[in-house]
């Protein structure tokens, strides 16, 4: 963490000196005023400089990227990361030779990893970020699979005229099922407690 103590005739001047030395901007730092200084008599006698302590804030996105690389290294996986930041939503797209190891069965490893990254990126820092972790387009393929599943199970519920229960899914996957069937002749709702919460489709 970069930190510097600087002085100047005023607090603003001391801060500006620190920003120039740190090569950053005011919105990227935390400022602690150690001494507001004193102009003295006529600006000459008894004057005392203002002193500030300026600390560069952690880059939360970079910290999350470093965490991803560290975990992948421990799993002996070489990865490339493409990071996209839109407002307060960050998407990390991973690619690599052994990427299937990071996806896991039905994306369970990827979902668990995404949860950990969400914790890491928000554990320190002033901004709150929502995270999407993808691996070589898995999320899109999974979404297409879930939409087909929703349509098939919706038809089954109508044909049998009874409730159909789906397997447990994480919240974002359940949301896809709900959205896929919202204009159909069925209603959907969730039952159970995480991580075993599941969707019920009812005519």
SS3 per-residue string spanning 115-167: HHHHHHHHCCCCCCCEEEEEECCHHHHHHHHHHHHHHHHHHHHHHHCCCEECC
The pLDDT of residue 45 is 62
pLDDT tens profile 68-117: 999 999 999 999 999 999 989 999 999 988 889 999 888 889 999 999 99
Q: Are 132 and 91 a contacting pair, CB within 8 Å?
A: yes
pLDDT tens profile 139-173: 999 999 999 999 999 999 999 999 999 999 888 89
Angle between helices 60-74 and 108-122 (to 10 degrees): 140
The pLDDT of residue 172 is 85
Q: Does the domain spanning 140-202 belong to CATH 3.30.1370.50?
A: yes
- How is the chain split into domains, by residue range? 3-56, 60-136, 140-202
pTM: 0.68
pLDDT tens profile 123-139: 877 789 999 999 999 99
- CATH placement of domain 60-136: 3.30.300.20
- CATH placement of domain 3-56: 3.30.30
Distance between CA 64 and CA 129 in Å, rounded? 11
């Amino acid at each position: 963490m970069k930190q510097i103590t600087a002085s100047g005739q005023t607090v603003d001047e001391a801060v500006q000196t620190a920003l120039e030395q740190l090569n950053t901007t005011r919105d990227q730092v935390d400022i602690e005023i150690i001494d507001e200084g004193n102009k003295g008599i006529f600006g000459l006698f008894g004057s005392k400089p203002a002193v500030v302590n300026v600390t560069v804030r952690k880059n939360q996105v970079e910290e999350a990227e470093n965490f991803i690389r560290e975990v992948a290294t421990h799993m002996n996986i070489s990865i490339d990361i493409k990071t996209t930041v839109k407002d307060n939503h960050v998407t990390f797209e991973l690619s690599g030779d052994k990427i299937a190891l990071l996806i896991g069965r039905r994306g369970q490893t990827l979902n668990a990893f995404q949860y950990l990254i969400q914790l890491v990126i928000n554990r320190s820092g002033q901004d709150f970020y929502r995270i999407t972790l993808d691996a070589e387009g898995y999320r899109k393929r999974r979404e297409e699979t879930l939409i087909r599943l929703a349509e098939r199970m919706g038809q089954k519920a109508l044909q049998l005229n009874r409730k159909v229960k789906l397997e447990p899914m994480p919240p974002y996957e359940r949301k896809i099922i709900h959205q896929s069937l919202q204009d159909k002749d069925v209603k959907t709702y969730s039952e159970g407690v995480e991580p075993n919460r599941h969707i019920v489709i009812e005519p």
